[in-house]
Structure 1
Amino acid sequence: MSYSAEYVSAGARVGLRPFRPCDGPEFTARVRESRELHRPWLFPPATLEDYEPYAAQRAGSGFLVCELDTGDIAGFVNVNNVVRGAFQCGALGYGAFAHAAGRGLFGEGFDLLLAHAFAEDGLGLHRLEANIQPGNTASIGLVRGRGFRLEGFSPEFLHVDGAWRDHERWAVTRRAS
């Protein structure tokens, strides 16, 4: 089955598409299957009740990474807190699901998101930030490998898992072509 019409961007194995209300059952099942992978870094919605407002809040700036051959959801990338005007920046939130981990699917999808976020016919941003807890070496490796630079340390930056957590601020800007 072809899912190509749904995607804002597609690579060799995955496509990037917006969240849909009908994705709730698969998304929340993948979240529950991925608890060990995500903890203590990330807590996406694990119930349909929580998924609906989560997906609605990401309209236009939240994307699912899906396998092209099956349509299965491999992960998600959200561009949060978009600031326009002179800044043209967004903050990334993302996660791979356990069944896709280690297969390179999420990395391919993350690359598609970067291209879409910086494209004039995409989100048209100039800068993307990823605020990452210092112990999250997998996430740091993901962004470092894609040209993000460490810009600083923010103590007690985000409230995660019941406490204010320190984060490193990583960023990348659109490359002039």
Structure 2
Amino acid sequence: MPHTASRYLAEGPRVGIRHFTHADGAEFTARARESHDLHRPWLFPPDTPGAYTAYADRLIQDPSKAGFLVCTKDDGAIAGFVNINNIVQGAFQNGALGYGAFAHAAGRGLMREALDLVVAHAFGPMRLHRLEINVQPGNAASIALARSCGFRLEGFSPGLIHIAGAWRDHQRWALTAEMRSTPARERR
């Protein structure tokens, strides 16, 4: 039986991750519109064709960004996204994660599986050393996801990121390649 190449960069039991393409615009924007209530006030993913094209262009063309669609393996549907922003190479080897599940996939553990895949890809083929997640303190689901994936709370930054017209406070979570290889019970 001949081997067929996977459409995914990495796969878990239920999801695969792949890069954004322009062809994903219609499905992505429909999912973003369906998920408006879930995402607000934390996320503002593109929900129009023009906004998606500009967003995808940045993720595809800018070397300081890497975008990953989270797709369910049974049907290939887009379940969410994980982006690595502000990638710095050289002595820093760092990136900042941003992510979101779409409403139809939320609460099913798919993003936990996907975030593990993206972290492994970042510390593997991308050769990053450290990943950061900045989360608004009231975003309990995002904090739980960061914690469950082994990120540690490093601090609190008032007025860190401008979102929806205001400077928002954020908790700072981080994970290094060395921490990832240390069992969770030893990191506590």
> Which bracket does the TM-score occupy, shorter chain normalised?
over 0.9
Moved more, 70-79 or 167-176: 167-176
Give the deviation of 1:137 after TM superposition. 0.7
Give the deviation of 1:175 after TM superposition. 2.5
Task: Report how many residues are paired.
Answer: 173
What's the counterpart of residue 147 of structure 1? 150
Q: Unaligned stretches of 5+ in structure 1? A: none
CA distance in 1, matches of 2:27, 2:71: 11
The structure with the largest alpha-carbon Rg is 2
CA distance in 2, matches of 1:78, 1:103: 20
Give the deviation of 1:115 after TM superposition. 0.6
Alignment of structure 1 residues 91-170 onto 2, 5 Å: 91-119=96-124, 122-170=125-173
What's the counterpart of residue 186 of structure 2? none
Does the alignment pair 1:80 with 2:81?
no
Give the AA of the match of 1:15. Answer: G
What's the counterpart of residue 40 of structure 1? 41
Any idea what the Cα deviations from partners look like across 1:123-164, whole Å, max 9, x if unmatched? 110000000001001100000111111111111111111111
CA distance in 1, matches of 2:45, 2:104: 16
CA distance in 2, matches of 1:141, 1:31: 22
Runs of 4+ in 1 over 6 A off after TM superposition: none
Give the deviation of 1:11 after TM superposition. 0.8
Identity of aligned residues (%): 63
**Over the residues paired in the alignment, what is the CA RMSD in angstroms?**
1.4
The higher-RCO structure (CA 8 Å, 6+ apart) is 1
Give the deviation of 1:4 after TM superposition. 5.8
CA distance in 2, matches of 1:101, 1:4: 28
Does the alignment pair 1:67 with 2:68?
no
Give the deviation of 1:56 after TM superposition. 1.4
